[in-house]
Amino acid sequence: MTIPSRYFHNRSILLLLIINTILLTIGVVLILFRIDSSRGGNYIVEYRANSGIDQYKVGQSGDIISFIVFLFINVILFTLISLRTFAIRRHVAVVCLVLSALLSLLTIIVSNALLAIR
């Protein structure tokens, strides 16, 4: 796959790539700092408000680490999609990167909310 010659010269693309990288770094750091090894690995990984008694699902620290893996996959996949669509339409590439930033932000919010209610 060849990178379009003007891809990294576009200011909006560069700004969104920097934003995605910053959100990835913030998400990884926040999740890793909130994981506590002295808790024995019991983390709330799922919360269903309408389930009644069993509204909290407990999991291991690997389930929380999956948020970090998702952040990496999100940024890499949307960047590759943006690279592929830049030659066709620049605006579609920008929308892909904006959606990646939004999805990364929502992942950070959800993971911190789950780690806060343990």
pLDDT band at 118 (very low <50, low <70, confident <90, very high): low
Average pLDDT, the chain: 87
Tally of domains in the chain: 1
Q: Is residue 71 part of a domain?
A: yes
Instruction: Choose between 88 and 70: higher pLDDT.
Output: 70
Residue 28 per-residue DSSP state: H
Is residue 47 within 8 A of residue 56, CB to CB? The reply is yes
**CA pair distance 106, 104, nearest whole angstrom:** 5
Q: Is residue 48 part of a domain?
A: no
Q: Is residue 109 part of a domain?
A: yes
Q: Is residue 44 part of a domain?
A: no
Q: Is residue 59 part of a domain?
A: no
Least confident range from 33-37, 73-77, 103-107, 110-114: namely 33-37
> Angle, to 10 degrees, between the axis of helix 61-86 and the axis of helix 90-116?
170
Q: Is residue 43 part of a domain?
A: no
pLDDT at 56: 77
Kindly tell me if the per-residue pLDDT of 27 is higher than 90: yes
> Sign of the CA dihedral 71, 77, 78, 82?
positive
**CA pair distance 111, 109, nearest whole angstrom:** 6
Residue 109 lies in domain: 11-37+65-116
Q: Is residue 51 part of a domain?
A: no
Is residue 4 within 8 A of residue 86, CB to CB? The reply is yes
pLDDT at 62: 83
pLDDT > 90: percent of the chain = 54
Q: Is residue 42 part of a domain?
A: no
